[in-house]
Amino acid sequence: MDKTANYSGKTIDRYVIAELVGTGTFGEVYKAFDSKLSRHVAIKATTPGTDGDDKKLIIREARIHARAEHAHIVPVYDVFENEHTVFIVMRLVTGENLDQMISRQDTPLRLSDAWHIMHQILWGMDYAHSKGIVHLDLKPGNIRITHCGEALIMDFGIAAILGEQDLMKERLQGTPAFMAPEIIESMNADARSDIYSLGLIMYKMITGHHPFEHARSLAEMLGCHKEVIPAKPSTHVSSIPEKLDDVIIKALEKNSRSRYHSCREFAMAMEHAISGTSLNGTSDMELRWDPRVAVYLNARIQLVETGELISAETVNLSVSGARLRVAIYIAVGSDIYLELYLPEGDHYIKVAATATVLWADGSPGMENVETGISLNEIDKQDRYHISMLVSERLLSGDEAELPGDDTVIFS
């Protein structure tokens, strides 16, 4: 069979295929009409001759993609197999991809326009990460911009479920120009790998340049990711704020431990760098616990899957998550029950929440692993107790409770 199937003009299941509009990781993408729901859709079809293993990966892609249901992620409507071909039905997004937008401009995107796009992408990926999903191939070509300025993340073809990456090790791919150093080194990826790619995307949007565009070969490009410190964005565009320089360079750190640990934290840092306000401004005090205080609390974790109990200690807290020091390694993507013990007089108040493990600086067998979690559900009264404790520590001005320069704030 030919490498292309040309389904144009055919009716498959309830879908009337109109025309080929592009290609994806494992196949072709068509514009089609859903005769049952009377709407236009996009359909990704495997190329002829796709073997059984690739079909399994495509179905896996659809399941992962559908799990990341967010306003800034292209939704998956259906997946089915017909005559040895797998079809993924998705929203039809009109407009252009971010790569096309950048390429057709004579100058870099205005900072406000770039931030408008990146803000949407970051919140979409923050949601995906909270569901234990890493994209692994974030690049301008996989970001679709609609005519009304809506940014949508596409193509989860090589995405992985955190903690299950052994399934993908032999197939781990990506785009060299936007690949994190740890992926090149064949180490496990997590949310911070996507943050590296997002840092590169923001860099290119506001400068019109890739920081390693001088690379003349694949080997040189991969070497740059691992060893070359990128020039500050303001080197290319002098009007870029110095604080934004620092934020983007931090996202591009070679060691993932030195980057932002969540898209939420990256988004907040970028927003404040662009707006020129302090991270500890009054408006933020109303929305989240102040991150200036490193509150150390005894904690206990129970794994949802096994019921195993693990001792832990908080390093810092925010309204959406926490950084913990945990007695043993907990697989990234694990769902947990978290108990915090807040001192009150001569006794303790127990605070409980459900949470998801987003990252872990360590590996199985290690002790005292630092771990980042996202708080999913917490009672309003418990939230009040924590916010009061943090405020009290902040007002006391106890320097011993303040994080040092090396403390990474998880927000």
Burial class, 380, CB count within 10 angstroms (exposed 0-12 / middle 13-18 / buried 19+): exposed
H helix or E strand, kind and range, residue 115: helix 111-130
User: Locate tokens 């790619």: which residue?
Assistant: 197
Cα of 258 vs its chain's centroid, Å: 16
- State how far the alpha carbon of 189 is from the alpha carbons of 136, 164, 349, 359, in Å: 8, 11, 37, 9
Active site residue 137: yes
H helix or E strand, kind and range, residue 381: helix 380-396
H helix or E strand, kind and range, residue 311: strand 309-317
Residue 270 amino acid letter: M
Options 13, 51, 106, 137, the catalytic residue: 137
CB–CB of 132/102 below 8 Å? no
CB–CB of 17/10 below 8 Å? yes
CB–CB of 63/69 below 8 Å? no
H helix or E strand, kind and range, residue 121: helix 111-130
Q: Which residues pair with 343 in a beta bridge?
A: 348
Work out the angle between the directed axes of helices 191-207 and 263-275 (0-180°, nearest 10). 30
Active site residues: 137
